[in-house]
């Protein structure tokens, strides 16, 4: 059983750097374009099934008429999430990545062309469910939100530090399941503080509504339509 | 905002094919080596926090003295899982992938050299928590087990079909949480049947012990040490 050959590996790393550099260039153009238009874009990332879509559904319904946002949905396959988000009243574009484990800045650029978000509006990207790859790809967002769910366990921040390190906001979702699982809240909290000292932390449940007002206030504080009022 | 340039994308796909072809070559050598030695290797895959480590901990403790297995642990960072598995009585090798979203056949080859599994033994790989990338990388395993947990929701098979399509066994874990979440068992079951018609399905909970005897019997039926007895 041969060990990996260095040459192949070097070429791989070189191409990965090129791909990331090219992605960062497009992400920068997305960011400039959004800033000029006064649009705030948020990148929401988590494991599969941590509750991103349910959070956005409830948020759209609860904030209808007071704060609106469009959604870019990233999934390998299906338009299930886009259908749910559309039914909750949002404008939505679905991107299917096939076997791709993350959205990239070019995909988001294409989605933004379709959405054509109005000046002063918000766009929320629901990234592919994955705690690894999406952390590497800047999409041009202004803020990054990482969602970790209670049943996943308290060790996710230390096991997936790249994801949590870049978060502006870390949401602990499915708080309604805390009575039924073994989740060490103290350990989780101190790990997130150590890995991402600047991140705001919130605990919520889109089922019971616990913690949702804090999340809504956090969104309102960043709503470009409200700036300067 | 420019669309992706075709040339870059073509080179990327070409290199991806080369990486996968090279991986498949090493995986084939792993498989030949294990077959000659009479060792059964199992690749266990799931989302982050779906319960792979807890399942293996309980399995090792419950089967102590009757069926033993060594474990190859894949994680981006930390040796937390290896420590847990070692405490449950298994021989274990931890591989840290850094920012890598999956184990590859070369990493497993190195781990097998360290483990040096005895003839007639079993090796269980706990892959990196990720429903996307590990599906693409053959490690030389004889059987693939995909674990989906109840709180992730019933839509995972249709949203991550590549992972479920290749499974020999699909475990629905954390069955103890069924009373507390909205999980459409019928839909999940019919989706898994449609995507992976040949896969065996089981429902279990490593907390309550529900369904564990079926899983143990499935392991025993594949135990090379018992073959021909």
Q: Quick check: B225 contacting A, CB < 8 Å?
A: no
The pLDDT of residue B226 is above 90: no
Q: Quick check: A2 contacting B, CB < 8 Å?
A: yes
ipTM here: 0.91
Distance, in angstroms, between B229 CA and closest chain A CA? Answer: 31
Q: Give the chain A residue nearest B102 (alpha carbons).
A: A132
Q: How far apart are the C-alpha atoms of B122 and A16, rounded to whole Å?
A: 35
Strand partners, B126: B44, B73
- Cross-chain Cβ contact A109/B161 below 8 Å: no
What pLDDT is stored for residue A91 in this prediction? 96
Coil, strand, or helix at residue B76? coil
C-alpha distances out from residue A75 to A45, A107, B73, B195, Å: 12, 12, 27, 17
Q: How far apart are the C-alpha atoms of A30 and B39, rounded to whole Å?
A: 52
Helix/strand number for chain A, H first, E second:
8, 7
Q: How many A-B residue pairs are in contact by the CB < 8 A criterion?
A: 158
- Cross-chain Cβ contact A156/B101 below 8 Å: no
Q: Which of A25, A48, A112 best probes binding to B when mutated, by most B CB atoms within 10 angstroms? A: A48
CA-CA-CA-CA torsion sign (A120, A46, A195, A19)? negative
Distance, in angstroms, between A123 CA and closest chain B CA? Answer: 17
In tens, the pLDDT along A32-49 reads 999 999 999 999 999 999
- pTM for this model (two decimals): 0.93
Q: In B, which residues are within 8 Å of A12 by CB distance? A: 15, 19
- Cross-chain Cβ contact A132/B136 below 8 Å: no
In tens, the pLDDT along A169-208 reads 999 999 999 999 999 999 999 999 999 999 999 999 999 9
Write out residues 180-219 of B within 8 Å (CB-CB) of A.
180-181
What pLDDT is stored for residue A16 in this prediction? 80
The pLDDT of residue A4 is above 90: no
Closest CB to B133: pick one of A11, A12, A101: A101
- Cross-chain Cβ contact A131/B132 below 8 Å: no
The pLDDT of residue A221 is above 50: yes
What pLDDT is stored for residue B3 in this prediction? 36
Residue whose C-alpha is closest to residue A108's, from A162, A71, A56: A71
Mean pLDDT of A83-101: 96
Side by side, the strands of the sheet bearing B143-149 are B92-96, B69-75, B122-126, B40-46, B143-149, B169-173, B200-203
Mean pLDDT of B177-192: 98
pLDDT grade for A228, boundaries at 50, 70 and 90 = low
Write out residues 146-175 of B within 8 Å (CB-CB) of A.
149, 151-153, 155-156, 158-162, 174
Q: Quick check: A69 contacting B, CB < 8 Å?
A: no
Q: Give the chain B residue nearest A130 (alpha carbons).
A: B130
Q: Give the chain A residue nearest B182 (alpha carbons).
A: A207
H/E run at residue B114: helix B105-115
Distance, in angstroms, between A24 CA and closest chain B CA? Answer: 12
In tens, the pLDDT along B40-66 reads 999 999 999 999 999 999 999 999 999
Coil, strand, or helix at residue B39? coil
Average pLDDT over chain A reads 93
CB B70 within 8 A of CB B90: yes
- Cross-chain Cβ contact A131/B129 below 8 Å: yes
Q: Quick check: A99 contacting B, CB < 8 Å?
A: yes
The pLDDT of residue B5 is above 80: no
H/E run at residue A96: strand A92-96
Q: Quick check: B134 contacting A, CB < 8 Å?
A: no
What distance lies between CA A195 and its chain's CA centroid?
Answer: 18
């Amino acid at each position: 059983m041969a060990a990996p050959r260095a040459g192949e590996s070097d070429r791989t790393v070189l191409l990965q750097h090129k791909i990331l550099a090219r992605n960062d260039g497009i992400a920068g153009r997305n960011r400039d374009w959004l800033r000029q238009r006064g649009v705030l874009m948020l990148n929401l990332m988590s494991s599969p099934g941590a509750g991103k879509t349910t959070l956005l559904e409830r948020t759209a319904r609860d904030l209808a008429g007071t704060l609106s946002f469009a959604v870019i949905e990233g999934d390998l396959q299906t338009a299930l999430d886009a259908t749910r988000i559309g039914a909750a009243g949002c404008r939505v574009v679905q991107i299917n990545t096939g076997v791709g484990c993350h959205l990239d800045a070019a995909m988001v650029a294409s989605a933004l062309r379709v959405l054509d978000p109005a000046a002063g509006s918000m766009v929320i990207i629901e990234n592919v469910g994955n705690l690894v790859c999406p952390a590497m790809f800047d999409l041009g967002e202004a803020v990054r939100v990482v969602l970790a769910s209670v049943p996943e366990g308290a060790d996710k921040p230390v096991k997936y530090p790249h994801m949590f390190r870049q978060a502006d906001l870390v949401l602990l979702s499915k708080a309604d399941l805390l009575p039924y699982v073994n989740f060490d809240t103290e350990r989780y909290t101190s790990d997130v503080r150590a890995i991402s000292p600047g991140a705001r932390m919130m605990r919520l449940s889109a089922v019971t509504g616990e913690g949702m007002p804090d999340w809504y206030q956090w969104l309102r504080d960043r709503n470009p339509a409200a700036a300067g009022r």
